[in-house]
């Protein structure tokens, strides 16, 4: 077996040093009824050729985004990731290292995390950011739990524009801990609808911009209302590229900003791994979840970086920790950070403008198809469109023609009563030819 260096002679020698007759001696503590005498009923080992053949055959039964016109978004976006990113993250020293517990021989990872935290803080307009969480949805749930710790209140108000799966994850975790979740009805453009639900028990208000229907909202007034009630404002962003163009959560008064960072550096990966961005006001830093990297000096006074404020964390505080998180999404944070370093603020702004421009072209083309209605009043790179009949059926039909026409709302939230609403995104990878093909196919289907 190519991954196992020991041979039979090595094993015999080692058993001799140990003083064991056979390897079974080493498993003597396993109760006899639980010992397997032979391998389980699964195939035997296989060479690279066989493994690659099986996996390639599976991959071939999927339709990748790059195979044709593609308009899916709804929390996962296709962007051009520079080849440099994937090259660097495959370097052994980044790929095959652990969480940087020994900072003297992990300065590479630690400096990356410090730069990543600074980039995320700047993007979100916040003072501090952590070293990443699993993804945007779990970051959203962590933000709500953190708001509870900060305010010692038990209610979270979620806007109807929050990604339904983010709401589901948050609800699952927060209600287990005894919180009350007040989720407002799904609506394309009604972030302000949360205002009516804010009361003196409210720990936080969670709004998303651009929301799951693509609508961009200035949430400054919601921040003011939340603060007036003693609650925190959590702003969620599922398309990190939008932060290059739109007002940042910090500018609008957010106390905690969470985002899905997948758009930069990470790729689609069928939903994971992704990278959760988590940033907040400095005064809340000791209530933050997850790893934090901080600057310090070494014994000779040189600048260096370490994991810090670990008294918040499970391995020190155990049941009193701010979160149970141990592993985060380090390599995806690295990918995000490399892509961000390549873009710079200037490049990200340009990228965001290109995305917005493509989406305007898409929206204009869709508006020209009789029977379609663009519902999103102000969008970044994604729009909700009302179609005649079932959006899910339409998407399956178009997939048969090789066009991935977007995400039906019913796929995310069947109870929203929006079975005829389709979400379509455009990015810098969307060509005019893609849009023409989509419009032609839609025009044929919708009469």
Provide the CB-side half-sphere exposure for 142 (13 A, CA): 29
Minimum distance, C-beta of residue 167 to other proteins, in the bound complex (Å) = 9
Give the pairing type, strands 276-280 and 256-260. antiparallel
Q: Which is nearer to other proteins, 60 or 228 (CB)?
A: 60
Collapsing DSSP to helix, strand or coil, 155 comes out as strand
Residue of 211, 248, 427, 430 that binds other proteins (CB under 8 A): 248
Buried/exposed 17-40: b ≥16 CB within 10 Å, e otherwise: eeeeeeeeeeeeeeeeeeeeeeee
Residues β-bridged to residue 206: 158, 234
Candidates 185, 344, 368, 389; binder of other proteins (CB under 8 A) is: 344
Site stretch for other proteins (CB under 8 A), options 184-192, 197-205, 223-231, 335-343: 335-343
Among 341, 401, 439, 443, binds other proteins (CB under 8 A): 341
Scan residues 2-21 and list those touching other proteins (CB under 8 A): 2-6, 10-11, 13-15, 17-20
Q: Closest CB to other proteins among 187 and 342?
A: 342
Minimum CB separation of residue 215 from other proteins in Å reads 10
Contact 382, 214 (CB under 8 A): yes
Residues counted in the chain: 447
DSSP strand pairing (155-158 vs 202-208): parallel
Contact positions with other proteins (CB under 8 A) in 196-225: 216-218
Backbone φ, ψ for residue 176 (5° rounding): -60, -30
Minimal distance, residue 447 CB to other proteins, in Å: 22
* DSSP single-letter state for residue 230: T
Q: How far is the CB of 444 from other proteins (least distance, A)?
A: 18
Nearer to other proteins, 196 or 399 (CB): 399
Rounded to a whole number of angstroms, the minimum distance from the CB of residue 330 to other proteins is 3
37: DSSP letter: S
Q: Could you say which residues in the range 351-410 bind other proteins, by CB under 8 A?
A: 351, 353-354, 356-358, 360-361, 378, 380, 395-396, 399-400, 404, 407
Handedness of CA 185, 190, 191, 197 (dihedral sign): negative
* Options 152-160, 225-233, 301-309, 366-374: segment touching other proteins (CB under 8 A): 301-309
> Quick one: residue 221, left, alpha or beta (phi over 0 = left, psi -120 to 50 = alpha)?
alpha
> Which tokens sit at 96?
């095959």
Closest distance of CB 96 from other proteins, Å:
4
Q: Which is nearer to other proteins, 118 or 229 (CB)?
A: 118
**Which DSSP category does 280 fall into?**
E
Residue 201, beta-bridge partner list: none
Sign for the pseudo-dihedral over CA of 156, 162, 167, 169: negative
Chain positions 79 to 138 lying near other proteins, rule: CB under 8 A, are 82, 84, 86-109, 111-112, 114-115, 117-119, 121-123, 127-129, 131-132, 134-138
The region of 74-82, 147-155, 221-229, 366-374 touching other proteins under the rule CB under 8 A is 74-82
Q: Which is nearer to other proteins, 187 or 321 (CB)?
A: 321
């Amino acid at each position: 077996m190519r991954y196992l260096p020991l041979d039979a002679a090595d094993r015999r020698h080692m058993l001799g040093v140990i003083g064991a007759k056979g390897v079974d001696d080493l498993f003597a503590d396993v109760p006899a009824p639980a010992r397997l005498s032979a391998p389980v009923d699964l195939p035997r080992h296989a060479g690279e050729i066989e493994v690659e053949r099986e996996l390639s055959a599976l991959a071939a039964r999927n339709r990748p985004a790059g195979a044709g016109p593609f308009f899916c978004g709804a929390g996962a976006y296709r962007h051009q990731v520079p080849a440099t990113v994937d090259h660097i993250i495959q370097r052994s020293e980044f790929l095959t290292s652990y969480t940087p517990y020994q900072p003297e021989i992990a300065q590479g990872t630690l400096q990356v995390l410090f730069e990543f935290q600074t980039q995320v803080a700047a993007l979100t307009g916040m003072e501090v950011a952590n070293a990443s969480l699993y993804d945007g949805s779990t970051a959203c749930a962590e933000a709500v739990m953190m708001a509870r710790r900060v305010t010692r209140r038990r209610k979270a108000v979620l806007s109807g524009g929050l990604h339904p799966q983010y709401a589901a994850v948050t609800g699952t975790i927060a209600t287990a801990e005894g919180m009350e979740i007040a989720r407002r009805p799904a609506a394309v453009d009604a972030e302000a609808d949360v205002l009516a639900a804010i009361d003196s028990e409210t720990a936080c208000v969670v709004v998303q911009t651009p929301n799951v229907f693509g609508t961009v909202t200035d949430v400054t007034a919601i921040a003011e209302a939340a603060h007036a009630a003693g609650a925190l404002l959590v702003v969620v962003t599922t398309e990190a590229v939008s932060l290059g163009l739109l007002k940042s959560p910090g500018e609008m008064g957010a106390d905690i900003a969470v985002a899905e960072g997948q758009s930069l550096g990470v790729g689609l990966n069928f939903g994971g791994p992704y990278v959760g961005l988590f940033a907040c006001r400095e005064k809340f830093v000791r209530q933050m979840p997850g790893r934090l990297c901080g600057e310090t000096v070494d014994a000779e006074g040189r600048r260096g970086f370490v994991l810090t404020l670990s008294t918040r964390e499970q391995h020190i505080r155990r049941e009193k920790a701010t979160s149970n998180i141990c592993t985060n999404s380090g390599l995806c944070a690295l990918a995000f950070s490399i892509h961000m370093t390549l873009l710079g603020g200037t490049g990200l702004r340009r990228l965001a403008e290109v995305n917005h421009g493509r989406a305007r072209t898409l929206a204009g083309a869709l508006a020209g198809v009789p029977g379609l209605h663009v519902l999103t009043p102000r969008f970044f790179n994604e729009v909700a469109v009302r179609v005649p009949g079932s959006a899910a059926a339409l998407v399956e039909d178009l997939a048969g023609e090789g066009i991935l026409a977007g995400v039906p709302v019913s796929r995310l939230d069947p109870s929203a009563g929006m079975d005829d609403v389709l979400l379509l995104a455009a990015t810098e990878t969307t060509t005019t030819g893609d849009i023409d093909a989509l419009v032609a196919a839609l025009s044929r289907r919708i009469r």
